[in-house]
Amino acid sequence: MPRVIVYNTNADKQVRDFKELAPDAQELIRAAIEARRMAYCPYSKFQVGAAIQTGDGSIYTGCNIENGAYPAGICAERTAASKAVSDGKRDFVACAVVAQQESGFTTPCGVCRQFLAEFAMQRDFPLYCAKPACPPLHVLVTSIRDLLPRSFSFLGNK
């Protein structure tokens, strides 16, 4: 009988109760849950919401926006980040991502990890991944550098 190897990813240690999170984090997750309702995803039917808090306390939200020309679509995280940056805010302090998957938490795709890492060069920021029940029971707490260590940078990697 083949031996089953179980990898310990430490993932369980990063899952927290929503109620234990700081009020700012809870508010950010709630904003992402609300933003998810705006998702335009007629092709995948996979709704995603995101929210980014900037240094001045502002919250920018985004949803995924698909397109019949598939690659033209954009993820919720990049929608939220684009709204913040185009409003002059680049100092991201936290990000929340919300989607429904039975198997686990939805984390940002590779493109979004790189996109967000651009704004985490000076300071890493927490990333909260949750399911859309409001309020959610559990939240995966990670960070952008945790998800994408040694990301590409023109400025070199620190």
Is 27 one of the annotated active-site residues of the chain? no
Which one is catalytic: 20, 77, 102, 118? 77
Burial 119-158 (b: 16+ CB within 10 A, else e): bbeeeebbbbbbbbeeebeebbbbbbbebbeebeeeeeee
> Which of the residues 91 through 130 are near Zn ion (CB under 5 A)?
109, 112
Which amino acid type is present at position 104? G
**Is residue 40 marked as binding?**
no
Q: Is 75 in the site for Zn ion (CB under 5 A)?
A: yes
> Which of the residues 10 through 69 are near Zn ion (CB under 5 A)?
none
Residue number, nearest CB to Zn ion: 75
- In 3-state terms, what secondary structure has residue 59? strand
Residue 10: other Cβ atoms inside 10 A: 7
Least gap, CB of 113 to Zn ion (angstroms): 8
**Is residue 68 marked as binding?**
yes
- Annotated catalytic residues are 77
Binding site for Zn ion (CB under 5 A): 75, 109, 112
